[in-house]
Structure formats: C-alpha cells, structure tokens
Amino acid sequence: MDDMNFDRIEDFLDGDLTENQLKEFEKDLLEDLDLQMELDLHTEVNEAIIEQDVMDLRSKLEAIETPHNPAEKRKLKFLTKWNITAASLALVIGLGSLMYILNNPSTYSNDKVFSNYYKPYNVVVNTRSSDVMIDNLLVTALKSYETKDYRTALTLFKKILDKDSTNITGNFYSGISNIEINEYSKANKNFTRVLKHKNNLFIEQSEWYLGFCYLMTNEKEKALKQFHVIAQGNSFYKTKALEIINRLE
C-alpha cells in the first residue's frame, strides 16, 4: 500500500475527507481495483485486530484524549500503518498455516486438542456492579486467579454468585478456574449461564471454552457442534475452531 493511498483510506474511514476529496475517492474506487482491494484489506485487518485484551485496551483508549495537532494525528496514522502491515503479515501466515492443516489432516485425541489449543483467559475487568461488597470480592478473587490460586478464586467467586448468580464476570472466571482444576462439568454450567445472558462481552470466549468442556467430558459430538458454531461466525476464534474441527473429524 503506497503512502498516498494509505492516508486517503485512513481519512476516508475516519470521515476526514472534504466533500470534493470524498467524491474523488469514491470515483477512484469505482475505477481502481487495486484501491478497492487496499480498502477491503484495511477494513478486514482493522476487524481482525481485536480480542485478547481488547476490552482492557478499549477502556484505556477512552482515557486518552485524541490529539488535535495535525502533526500528532499524522504520527498516529504512521504508527497505525505499521500496525496494519504487521497484522497483514500475521494474517497471511495464519491463513497459510490453516491451508496446510486443511490439506494435511491428522486426527488428534481430545486431550491433545486441549493441550494444543486451550489456555486460560487473561484478567479483563469490564463491569461494575451496584454492590460494593461484590466489587471488592471480585477484585480479590481476580487477584487469586492471576496468581493461579484457582481454588481460592473459586471460593470467592462462589460468594459473589451466591449473592448474584447472573454475575457475568464471576461466572466466566469461575468457568476458567473450574477448567484449571479439572471440574469440567461445573465449568460447563458457568459458561452456559454467560451464554444465556446473551448481551455481554464474554459471549465469544464462553462459546470457545465451552467446546473444551465438552471435549474433556468425552462429549465429542457436542464439542464438534460447538466448534462448528464458532467456525460459522466471525469471532477471533474462527480460524482455530476450523483447525480443531479438522483435527477431530
């Protein structure tokens, strides 16, 4: 992507083009296939740079004042360009790996899929309740979770859930903690509660971890069904779900 087109696409997506510049850009889009492809790639990469720590990053970004100095804005766009270049390379490598796996299938056991693809989720505090006691318990529980003291964390999460069984953060991290101590059926219940709530930030993560719960309780068909649901969506876990399906079928 050349510098001129990069800046035009950035300004187009940011809504910074003047009326005349916008008309010229839209005219060029109709006539220039390369420009169309660059815009599509830019949009896809922006959508791909989400997930792990994204919620934490989002809260941090909200606290940063957008620079008004044109030089500072250009500096940010320059840095963004390199982020997009790196992300594009990562996408190419990832797609190449997926194509290799799809063309060279080999069956994995449930345990091997688990060991190769599962890892606990990082701590991301994204909600506050109206109950100060629950907030304090949550902070303490998450500290235990971060130090991998999962049993202590579960004891604290249980106090939260006894008071509010629908607490999303408590259920989600209880689920991960239960996986870590091999209580997969209990983890299943935690993630199912998160999914039933529907409107929350841990939906895609809970779908992903629920698949591992089914694997480790030897419910392979349910696990495959779960990973197929993920593979048919557009979440961060889509590519990995496709890999797992290919390994298991």
Say if residue 66's pLDDT is above 90. no
pLDDT at position 88 is: 62
What pLDDT, on the 0 to 100 scale, is given for residue 52?
Answer: 46
Phi–psi pair at 228, nearest 5 degrees:
-65, -40
Q: Percent of the chain scored above 90 by pLDDT?
A: 41
pLDDT band at residue 96, thresholds of 50, 70 and 90?
low
Task: For residues 86-106, give the mean pLDDT.
Answer: 59
d(CA 174, CA 190): 7
pLDDT at 133 over 90: no
Q: Which tokens go with 142?
A: 């998450």
Whole-angstrom distance, CA of residue 50 vs CA of residue 79: 17
Q: Of 48, 50, 5, 1, nearest to 25 (Cα)?
A: 5
Q: What is the pLDDT of residues 147-156, one digit of tens each?
A: 999 999 999 9
Q: Which residue bears the tokens 């420009």?
A: 35
Domains contained in the chain, CATH given: 3-103 (no CATH), 110-248 (1.25.40.10)
d(CA 133, CA 162): 12
pLDDT the model gives residue 102: 55
CB–CB of 184/216 below 8 Å?
Answer: yes
pLDDT at 107 over 60: yes
pLDDT band at 35 (very low <50, low <70, confident <90, very high): confident
Outline where DSSP puts E strands in 116-241: none
Q: Average pLDDT over the chain, rounded to whole?
A: 79
Is 12:25 a contact under the CB 8 Å cutoff? yes
At residue 211, the pLDDT reads 97
Instruction: Please give the pLDDT value at position 135.
Output: 78
Segment 171-193, tens digit of pLDDT:
999 999 999 999 999 999 999 99
* Higher per-residue pLDDT: 18 or 78: 18
Q: How confident is the model at residue 196 (pLDDT cuts 50, 70, 90)?
A: very high
